[in-house]
Amino acid sequence: MADFRTSTLHTTPVGDRGDRVVFLHGLFGRGKNFARIAKDLLPDHRSLLVDLPNHGRSAWTDSVDYRQMADSVAETLRGDFAAEGPVAVVGHSLGGKVAMVLALRHPDLVSRLVVVDIAPTRTGGGEGEFAHLLDSLAAVDLTAAERRSDVGKALEEPIPQDTTRSFLLQNLRSGEDGLSWEPNLELLRSSLDAVGGFPDTGDAVYEGPVLWVAGGRSDYVRDEHAPLMRRLFPRAHRVTIREAGHWVHSQEPEKFTEVLRGFLAHTET
């Protein structure tokens, strides 16, 4: 297991010029979940797609802690992508919480912040769904599967939604020893209470511009969250993409990219 303080996160760069944007994915995700959005931002923006700890090709750790994850992202950015100055940070769901904590703990790294369909509070109602998905993935006998389609077939009954199943199947890795899951399923399953929470950040306030994007068909962002959001992020502006659910960027990519591009291009006065 890696130490949060010394682990280097796996990253994927997209583009080689333009303003810099960092993308942080949600639970079950990986940096490349934002590949389409990053490509759509070319050539005006170059992006860094980050695999958070216990996801994608980044190292597994012994615990799930938002402050430690944010510090790990900060260490990675300081070493390269943000070495020349602050960058825009976009985070969805779990990645949105990491992005908020990053901005509160390391404001010098964040020029502007985009929080996608999550709030700085305990996430209610999602633990049961996430537990079911994690249990479904862990229950698949990968030693009996020869190809990705075999795993997909095994997941059809417990996860009948095609889009959800296809998204989860992106986490399969094929190696010399056969198929394996990239996320640390056991740790994530036992840490759902921590995943659903939000850490105490003391009196920290992030004064930079913040775009708060909600999915119109999702209940992760509610009106009662607004006072806390604006206490921590006084310059937050909320936008709702009506036809999107929780996975806003994958369900409505064109609308999301349009909103994101406008925010990134806006010059604050």
Active-site positions read 93, 186, 246
Give the whole-angstrom CA distance, residue 116 versus residue 147: 33
Tokens of 76: 């990675």
Is residue 130 within 8 A of residue 195, CB to CB? The reply is yes
Instruction: Report residue 59 as tokens.
Output: 């190292």
Can you tell me the distance from the alpha carbon of 100 to that of 121, in angstroms, rounded to the nearest whole number? 11
Q: Beginning with the edge strand found earlier in the chain, give each strand of the sheet holding 45-50 in spatial order.
A: 11-14, 45-50, 19-24, 87-92, 110-116, 210-215, 236-241
Amino acid present at 207 = E
Distance CA 171, CA 174 (A): 10
Report the helix count and the strand count for the chain, using DSSP H and E: 11, 9
Q: What is the DSSP letter of 107?
A: G
Residue 73's nearest CA partner among 1, 20, 11, 2 is 11
